[in-house]
Structure 1
Amino acid sequence: MRPAIRAGASGYLLKGSALSDLVAAIAAVARGGAFFSPAIAKLVLVDSRRRETHPADALTNRECEILRLVAQGQSSNQIARDLGLSMKTVEGHRGRIMAKLDVHHLAGLVKYAVRAGLVSPDP
């Protein structure tokens, strides 16, 4: 279901849906709306809420930038130099990132950044 929605589907019915649901779905989508089986609608709602309250949503643009650079293997010293920041400022950002994401080590930050699509894993 999720790949279909990401690909642009405006509706989704379960295999055992009633004929009346199929007719309603076709009509809704034809009008430019959307239609999802109630069980699917609940999953979409839960997914949406989870994304809205995801810890990464609390990261600032600068924190995302620093997280990406850390995950690419740059040291705090390199990041400070490249961004024109003090080492103390970079370390402060890094500490806040770890607290917001509830991550306690560098490997966890890298793993998070890869999963979030901030960096791609090396081939």
Structure 2
Amino acid sequence: MEKIRIVIADDHAVVRSGFSMILNFQEDMEVVATAADGIEAHAMVARHAPDLLIMDLSMPPGESGLIATGKIREEFPDTHILILTMYDDEEYLFHVLKNGASGYMLKNAPDEELLLAIRTIHKGGTYIHPKMATSLVREFVKSESKAASDDPFDVLSNREMEILPLVAKGYGNKEIAEMLYISVKTVEAHKAKIMEKLGLKSRPELVEYALKKKLLNF
């Protein structure tokens, strides 16, 4: 039997070990690698070309799953992504689905649901935790009657989503540039775009916005 090859990305070692034991016990699954943050997840996907990546959203202090999902899905379209998180938040659900995730479920779900989600996604389907499915349907109906979103959060690029929480946390332009391996001028340009898109005038407003969107949790 050809096994579903899986990478697990979570910042807690005990979580990675626990999930690995559960999945490796299945006849049709194999964990080929684990990662502690989004950057490692990207590297492991590039190295192992797995069928599926299980991604946690919040992995401080490394790159979050929210940012990594879009990058990995764009570069490795054959690897499906299942978001596994503690956040039963509609905004996170919609954002990761727009970034290419194939599934979204909560960490407190039973093992049987995780296995069902993996098998469903591997067959080309999409799996949404039942608690969140109602929100997804409601949002779909709303979007049918309203073509454009009023929330500028939706139009931020992946790089802008990366820089926004770092600015809000107080990092300077040079520090952000070194962390993301880009130039200071590039950081400044992205910061200006973020402020423009979000309609913000000052750093305190940006911090307040980041807090509201729970971006500082990452």
Q: Normalised by the shorter chain, which TM-score bucket?
A: 0.5 to 0.7
The structure with more strand, counted as a fraction of residues: 2
Residue pairs, 1:51-70, within 5 angstroms: 52-70=149-167
Post-superposition CA distance 1:84-103 (Å, at most 9, x none):
11110000000000000000
Which range is displaced more, 103-112 or 92-101?
Answer: 103-112
TM-score by length of 2: 0.34
Rate the CA distance shift 1:8–1:63 in 2: closer, same or farther, 3 A.
closer
Deviation at 1:49, TM superposition (A): 4.8
The amino acid of 1:70's aligned partner reads V
Identity value in percent = 41
Rg comparison, structure with higher value: 1
Q: Does 1:91 align with 2:188?
A: yes
SS of equivalent to 2:196: helix
CA deviation profile, 1:64-117 (whole Å, cap 9, x unmatched)? 110011111111110001111111000000000000000011111111011011
1:100 aligns with 2:197: yes
The answer to whether residue 209 in structure 2 is matched with residue 112 in structure 1 is yes
Normalised TM-score (structure 1) = 0.57
Letter in 1 for 2:191: R
Q: Which has the higher helix share?
A: 1
Alignment of 1:1-123 (within 5 A): 45=142, 49=146, 52-120=149-217
Q: How many aligned residue pairs are there?
A: 83
**RMSD of equivalent CA atoms:** 2.8
Whole-Å separation in 2 of the counterparts to 1:9 and 1:99:
33
User: Greater relative contact order (Cα 8 A, min sep 6): structure 1 or 2?
Assistant: 1
Query: After the TM superposition, which parts of structure 1 deviate over 2 Å for at least 4 consecutive aligned residues?
Result: 6-10, 48-53
Q: Which runs of 5+ in 2 are unaligned?
A: 1-89, 91-130
